Structure 1
């Protein structure tokens, strides 16, 4: 090929690559987050159908859903931060699994809704989610003094870890399900031909976030995870210096973890988290 033909071709390839970088950079949050939308009236109807009640902020805004209080109230509160698709009410299996342990006396489960998901307004993104998550913890603390645990599912492991980092005295423990170590690593695996680490606006670095946290951490990984990979979960688990325990669903892919109420890990995870004496909450 002559130089007269080679240079225009190279120029076209460079322009195409730069345009691809720009497109991915501009629309990256639409690639990371997959919110489903529904009107508030529709969400309330769906919640009633599922036996859930709205979880409201002090100003009356619906920020999630809960299984409601028992009498006497459950001893502990568990806040779910769900994966990147759908909305919180699609995760009522956590209410069935944790909320019914010991006749409902152990866990009051809250399904947190991200800004921009379901009927909740707001911006998609790490900063917006952390601010909303911190406000949710404030609301729970204002309501009563029962311990607050966080459950991060997939993408939600980033928010759970970030809140443990910035609110360590308020987070009694963590359960991370199909988590990643760093979102940048996941992005590189899928878009390695682009400089994604430099482009990423929401890095969600769980290894760094949990570096100084010392509460109990339970983790469940899917052995055949094709999205974040089991290796990402093991890397995060190995990096954690606090009390920890790992469960593996060997044959499960990212979205086929066994959520049957008869799965033994519900009880085992609950027992592990509650056996901890939470010294990290009282240390200076």
Structure 2
């Protein structure tokens, strides 16, 4: 009996040690998992809509800007965690064709921008980009905040800080810990998460009109998260896309939901 007890203790201690090691590894590597930043992008020339925005500490991020016609809103878009500024040009061109301005900002550590992405660092880059837009005469009332996937958390935080008049969220999540808990239910993700992007806790403070677009077959961020957020924002409309997943929700041949975003940004029904 004593021998069996010792064996059980040894087994439990071994599993406990392995579990602790796994938690330490996840804690150490979580930002590389959360921010799979595209690499190898050459520095962008400051022309054709691209500009370089200095940040504190000698860092900088790239901007892509298409000015709005006089009096028209500007869509400020925050991209997903596997995207970069260069991949947003098509969305910008569509918004411009619909009579809107467009601005998208790179994240630290993404594309040609130096540094490492963190929640606070991305917020700082977003606020710097919005200040840059204000200096060009675009007011908060003329600004429509937009985000996709990871960028939805950035858009909501900027809205909470008073930077826009409308908000568009494509494939949004309630919080990063919620996503982690869904993907890794056997880990104490809520204790380990360093970057939280807690949209659910901020939603009630965002009194602006909100459009949520979510693919019904999204296996990365469940559509139920988008639906839940629709009940938390005071003025939200939720539109789910049948047959669409996480990466193709805006990529239908007719760009139906990109045009839906443009109509919402223009204040059309």
Which TM-score applies when normalising by structure 1? Answer: 0.84
Report the CA distance between 1:261 and its aligned residue.
Answer: 6.7
Distance of 1:275 and 1:89 partners within structure 2? 27
After superposition, the C-alpha distances for 1:176-201 in whole angstroms (9 at most, x for unaligned) are 00111122111001111010001111
Q: How many residues align?
A: 261
Contact 1:55/1:110, CA 8 A, preserved across alignment: no
What are the within-5 Å matches in structure 2 for residues 123-162 of structure 1?
123-146=116-139, 147-162=142-157
Q: CA offset at residue 260 of structure 1?
A: 4.5
Stretches of structure 2 lacking an aligned partner (at least 5 in a row): none
**Contact 1:89–1:111 at 8 Å: present in 2 too?**
no
- Structure 1, unaligned runs of 5 or more: 277-284
Please tell me whether residue 84 in structure 1 is matched to residue 81 in structure 2. yes
Cα distance in 2 between the residues matched to 1:142 and 1:210? 28
- Structure 1 position 216, deviation (Å): 1.3
Query: Which of 57, 62, 80 is residue 53 of structure 2 equivalent to?
Result: 57
1:95 matched residue in structure 2: 92
Give 1:12's match in structure 2, choosing from 11, 14, 26. Answer: 14
How far apart are residue 74 of structure 1 and its match?
A: 7.0
SS of equivalent residue, structure 1 residue 110 = strand
Q: Deviations over 1:229-265 (max 9, x none)?
A: 10011111111112x3222211001111143473333
Matches within 5 A, 1:229-240: 229-240=222-233
Summarize the Cα distance change of 1:138–1:116 in structure 2 as closer, same or farther, 3 Å threshold.
same
Whether the aligned pair in 2 keeps the contact of 1:218 and 1:273 (CA below 8 Å) is no
The answer to whether the Cα contact below 8 Å between 1:122 and 1:128 also exists between their aligned partners in 2 is no
Give 1:2 shift.
1.1
- Verify: 1:113 aligned to 2:106, yes or no: yes
Judged with a 3 Å threshold, the aligned counterparts in structure 2 of structure 1 residues 247 and 198 are, in CA distance, closer, same or farther, namely same
What residue is the counterpart of 1:209 in the other structure?
Answer: 202
